[in-house]
Structure 1
Amino acid sequence: MCLLLTGYEPFGDNDRNPSAAIARRLDGERIGDREIAGRVLPVAFDRAGDEMIELIETLDPDAIVATGLAAGRSAISVERVGLNVADCAGVPDNADAAPRNERVAAGGPAAYFATLPVVETVEALVADGIPARLSNTAGTHLCNNVLYRTRAYLEAEDRRVPAGFVHLPLTPEAAAARAREDAPSGGDVEPSVALETQETAIRRTFEIVRGE
């Protein structure tokens, strides 16, 4: 058994995705007596959820923390709920799929709550000096999709595994690169958090889930 950590590959106008970098950096690291298995999911509506379920069936994790990029957010965002909505919001996935006002699971519940200790995690991160907040919306893109599908699968299989989703901001380097593209002579720069701080936040999240 292990601790499953997933990130996403780059997508849209984001050449770098901190969630993928952190999944790779923490892969193989130990939290107590469990090893983190870091994996990178495709940004594809028809594949990401299936690959997550395959990882759960193969690795039999003790806890699941899925992560993704939320450019524009200024803090680590611990998501409370995944909605039964699939809508690309004008940003097609990497396979050019662009769902509009669809359902993640036809006939499924309207939402699933994350089973990570979301409030305790945010409080602990802030106490450690890490910018963090509780978020009540994971959007309607792939991040929400994987949160909903993961929780739906665990419920259907009666697997009591803590699972949730954490949104990560841009890194300073990525924020600067986007600013150069948008306004080379200067302009607004999106919020960012250093990759090392984001990595610490995810490591700490697993520690909190494990009660360590």
Structure 2
Amino acid sequence: MKKLLLTGFEPFLDHADNPTRLLADTLDSEMIGEYVVKSVVLPVTFSEAAEVVVAKMKEHQPDAVMMLGLAAGRNRITPERVAINCSDGDTDNDGVRKQDEPIIKDGSAAYFSTLPIRKYVDILREAGIPAAISNTAGTYVCNNIMYQTLHYIEENQLNVPAGFVHVPASSQMAIVKPGLASMSEDEMLRAVRLMIEAM
């Protein structure tokens, strides 16, 4: 039986919730396609989030890793193409703000996702779910964990496909923030299940 490590995030900034937390919690231990899902909800911190991912990889020895994050403002599921060696942007949940800092000093400039992101977009669109490849995971904690996870995989010569997928705000979040692009949590769950099946 293959294992897939699925990560979500706790709420951050001014967001009262984070749909990726529900996605991770709901899918934990579910059998999807060839994979049993092992989920973890991460802190939105530069100092800890990637460490938790690596610790869970060591614990579960997954055959694949899919990391999820909220991209409030996007209106579709967006698998990320690349993570860059830079931390910058808003304050994290520890109150830490980074500016123009390398994630790993003298590390590679970038790492590309090793998930089948084009296949994901194609199957989601065929299923009637809005989706597109994104060419920037930003420079916040989402990019940070994608970069550090792919770095860990390369450094340890692991044959483990891994990457990051951003999701829109949930419909519940849009209730309190009118005009915010959103998607129902049920539709997001359907999307994540389809992507895991496509592994």
Q: TM-score, normalised by structure 2?
A: 0.97
Please state whether the residue corresponding to 1:71 is helix, strand or coil: coil
Return the offset for 1:173: 1.4
Please state whether the residue corresponding to 1:134 is helix, strand or coil: coil
CA displacement 1:154-187 (0-9 Å, x = unmatched): 00000011101000100111012123xxxxxxxx
Residues 153-168 of structure 1 correspond to what in structure 2 (within 5 A)? 153-168=152-167
Name the larger-Rg structure: 1
CA distance in structure 1 between the aligned counterparts of 2:129 and 2:54, rounded to whole angstroms: 31
What is the aligned length?
Answer: 198
CA distance in structure 1 between the aligned counterparts of 2:35 and 2:163, rounded to whole angstroms: 18
CA distance in structure 2 between the aligned counterparts of 1:153 and 1:109, rounded to whole angstroms: 12
CA distance in structure 2 between the aligned counterparts of 1:159 and 1:207, rounded to whole angstroms: 21
CA distance in structure 1 between the aligned counterparts of 2:165 and 2:34, rounded to whole angstroms: 23
Unaligned runs of 5+ in 1: 180-188
CA distance in structure 1 between the aligned counterparts of 2:27 and 2:35, rounded to whole angstroms: 12
Moved over 3 A (4+): none
**Residue 54 in 1 paired to residue 71 in 2?**
no
Amino acid paired to 1:143: C
CA distance in structure 2 between the aligned counterparts of 1:141 and 1:85, rounded to whole angstroms: 9
Q: Which residue of 2 aligns with 1:178?
A: 177
Unaligned runs of 5+ in 2: none
Return the offset for 1:38: 1.3
Residue in structure 2 matching 1:196, options 153, 173, 186:
186
Please state whether the residue corresponding to 1:37 is helix, strand or coil: strand
Return the offset for 1:33: 4.3
CA distance in structure 1 between the aligned counterparts of 2:172 and 2:10, rounded to whole angstroms: 17
CA RMSD in angstroms comes to: 0.9
Q: TM-score, normalised by structure 1?
A: 0.91
Q: Which residue of 2 aligns with 1:42?
A: 43
CA distance in structure 2 between the aligned counterparts of 1:60 and 1:16, rounded to whole angstroms: 29
What percent identity do the matched residue pairs reach?
41
CA distance in structure 2 between the aligned counterparts of 1:59 and 1:68, rounded to whole angstroms: 21
**Residue 32 in 1 paired to residue 22 in 2?**
no
Q: Which residue of 2 aligns with 1:69?
A: 70
CA distance in structure 2 between the aligned counterparts of 1:25 and 1:73, rounded to whole angstroms: 22
**Residue 152 in 1 paired to residue 142 in 2?**
no
